[in-house]
Amino acid sequence: MERAKVLVVDNSPVVLRLVAGLLEKENCLVQTAADGLEALDVLDYYRPDIIFTDLVMPKIDGAKLCAIIRSTPDLQDIFLVILSGIALEEDIDLAEFGADMCIAKGPATPMKNHILAALSRWEDQGREGTPEVRGMTGLFRREVTSELLTSKRHQDVILRRMSEGVVELDGSGRIVMVNQAAQAILGQTEIDLLADRFSEHLQDRQADRVRTWIESRTRENLEILEFPYEDPLLLNGRQITFKLVPIPEEEQLFFIGILQDVTGRKEAEERQRRLESELERVRKLDAMATMASGISHDFNNLLTIINGNLEMARMHAQDDSPIARLLDESGRALELTTGLIHQFTTFSDNYLPARDRVELHELLERVLEEELRDTGVDYRLEQENGHWTVDVDVTLMQQVFHNIIQNSVEAMGGRGRIRVGLHVVSADEVGERSGNPLLQGDMIEIVFTDQGPGIDPAILDRIFDPYFSTKQKGAQKGMGLGLTIVHSIVKKHGGLVRIESEPGQGCTVRLYLPAGSWAEDLSDRSGKEDGWCRILIFDGDEMMRLISRKMFEFYGCTTRLAASGREAVELYRQAFQASHRYGLVMVDMTGDDGLNGQETVRHILEIDPDAAVVAVCSDSSDPVLERYAEHGFTAAVEKPFSIDVVKQLLHRFVT
């Protein structure tokens, strides 16, 4: 008969010698291991028929060793015997361990007999018999052992319920304990992780750092290794803080590692950073809008006068004279100035896009052909099935495409390819990616990708800022307004711009525009519901009343204007009594001609508790902006507000 191959696993040298010696006398081939980790190493090259294993051992204990053996297909037929010194104190469930027999450790002679009985049973039945516990006779329960086991169970419960991941590594960096949170972070089960080197689960640079640190630890050098919040580990696409602490034990070291998943917090901070960046950009654009509103009219008048005088002077100058050449240069400079003023007007809240429905693919193809005609750059325009229309100001949208294409051409040095793709995506999907909420419904995504050198991450957040440019300043190079204008125009159309780039990997610009005609939907509802789009506007500033009227009337609304709170209340009362209630009331919080904003809303709600009243605040610190409901308002907006705000108010409260 072929000799039985046996593996004996126990951290007690006395037990190892006793069991191994007995089995060798029975003509068995015997290998020994001092703990579960060492046993797993033996199993890499030695396939036993029988394993005798202790339960309580350092590193990987007997329970985990049993679980690994029974979950490994090549080891499932091994006859498994537990040698336990805690058989009386611990209620051992052999089925749970997958064991065939348990032998309680006790006096040497009975214990030898039970080991021989186990060997005999394996020879006769293999794993066919019923699991049994032997050797309990003559043993007595030990209270100290029971208390230690209770304490260990409490520790196990704590480890299981910790939100932080905990791993224990041996002196060479191999995993000998891993709690449930750490298993979730590492993306594998305990059985798969035990005995692995922890560094094998890390990226190369971080793995090298961990390996080098472990190899250099001594009892005299107990420095802690830390991957802090600012420089976390990257595990399975998650960001993890990690602290590894060396623990000296007798002549050896082991390591306790604490892992914490900070991905959610990092993502929240990134969303907050993007929002703050967007808010700062909006503030800058609002400042430009205020300036543009104030100067564009006066500048256009002045430019008209200058242009008229130049043209008349040119008529009196001889064609080849120095004066004619000077006038021609002045005329070209005036054209550039006029173009710059026109660009400024796109920032003004008074400048409303004149929307037309256009087929996007045709518009893009036309602009690409014109912009790339005399360059060494070609293009590829792709779209999913279908012909998509958008409602845009064609002139402004051509300006958007022109600015993006010219940036790409210049970035590629006039040679290369621009790829343009068209896709339909949901607004929810775009909002989730960008951290910016958009209107509900479908969005058209326009993706421009070039083959240029890319953008330095350090300046990526600044590229939409007014007057920020990496080009030489000047009329022939860059004024730093190109992408600012793109951002402003797309925003006026209810859309969003995102730019993605890495150095050496080109640049991708993503534009998102609402699909379909929301303004047309509003117009279609006209007359269906009496008063559905009647707007009452109270503002103490005449210019604000007029521009507010213009923005609401752009969407087909009828408006009434009130210069004071008392007038607004009276107008609302008359309309309500005539059963022609207003769908929305805009109340200026700074108006104080008889009734201020707070008093005005109170009187209106006394007339109609269901009135939709919006507070219009001039001060960003006004508490009504944050807690408008507490003050009786349905919503609150801050001056200056754009036509997009008007659209969102109508979409939310009227349609």
CATH number (domain holding residue 120): 3.40.50.2300
Give domain status of residue 116, yes or no. Answer: yes
Indicate if the alpha-carbon torsion angle 176, 180, 181, 183 is positive or negative. positive
Q: How confident is the model at residue 174 (pLDDT cuts 50, 70, 90)?
A: very high
Q: How confident is the model at residue 569 (pLDDT cuts 50, 70, 90)?
A: very high
The pLDDT, as a whole number, for residue 343 is 62
Give domain status of residue 351, yes or no. Answer: no
Q: How confident is the model at residue 468 (pLDDT cuts 50, 70, 90)?
A: low
CATH of the domain at 236: 3.30.450.20
Q: What is the share, in percent, of the chain residues with pLDDT greater than 70?
A: 80
The pLDDT, as a whole number, for residue 521 is 39
Which residues fall within 8 angstroms of residue 341, CB to CB, at 6 or more apart? 296, 299, 300, 303
Same domain as 601, residue 526: yes
Give domain status of residue 509, yes or no. Answer: yes
Same domain as 447, residue 379: yes
Give domain status of residue 147, yes or no. Answer: no
Same domain as 583, residue 481: no
Domain boundary among 516, 541, 564: 516
**CA pair distance 594, 596, nearest whole angstrom:** 7
The pLDDT, as a whole number, for residue 455 is 82
Give domain status of residue 388, yes or no. Answer: yes
Q: Is the pLDDT at 505 greater than 90, yes or no?
A: no
Mean pLDDT, rounded, for 244-270: 88
Q: Is the pLDDT at 150 greater than 50, yes or no?
A: yes
Query: In this predicted structure, which of 240-249, 307-316, 418-427, 536-545 has the lowest mean pLDDT?
Result: 307-316
Mean pLDDT, rounded, for 625-652: 79
Same domain as 303, residue 248: no
| HEC-encoded secondary structure of 152-219 | HHHHHHHHHHCCCEEEEECCCCEEEEECHHHHHHHCCCHHHHCCCEHHHHCCHHHHHHHHHHHHCCEC
Same domain as 469, residue 484: yes
Same domain as 240, residue 281: no
Same domain as 255, residue 112: no
Q: Could you check whether the bond before residue 131 is cis, i.e. omega within 30 degrees of 0?
A: no
The pLDDT, as a whole number, for residue 288 is 62
Q: Is the pLDDT at 349 greater than 80, yes or no?
A: no
Q: Into how many domains does the chain fold?
A: 5
**CA pair distance 211, 207, nearest whole angstrom:** 6
Q: What is the share, in percent, of the chain residues with pLDDT greater than 90?
A: 30
The pLDDT, as a whole number, for residue 493 is 81
Q: Which residue has the tokens 């007057």?
A: 467
CATH of the domain at 289: 1.10.287.130
Same domain as 199, residue 135: no
Same domain as 211, residue 123: no
Mean pLDDT, rounded, for 607-619: 87
Q: Is the pLDDT at 28 greater than 90, yes or no?
A: yes
CATH of the domain at 367: 3.30.565.10
The pLDDT, as a whole number, for residue 640 is 63
Give domain status of residue 380, yes or no. Answer: yes
Same domain as 216, residue 89: no
Domain boundary among 345, 365, 398: 345
The pLDDT, as a whole number, for residue 517 is 43
Same domain as 503, residue 366: yes
Higher pLDDT, 449 or 91: 449
Q: Is the pLDDT at 55 greater than 80, yes or no?
A: yes
Q: Is the pLDDT at 259 greater than 90, yes or no?
A: yes
SS3 content of the chain, % helix, strand, coil (to 5): 45, 20, 30
A 10 A CB-CB count for 616 gives 25
Domain boundary among 261, 293, 316: 261
Domain that holds residue 189: 162-261
Same domain as 225, residue 83: no
**CA pair distance 269, 263, nearest whole angstrom:** 10
Give domain status of residue 151, yes or no. Answer: no
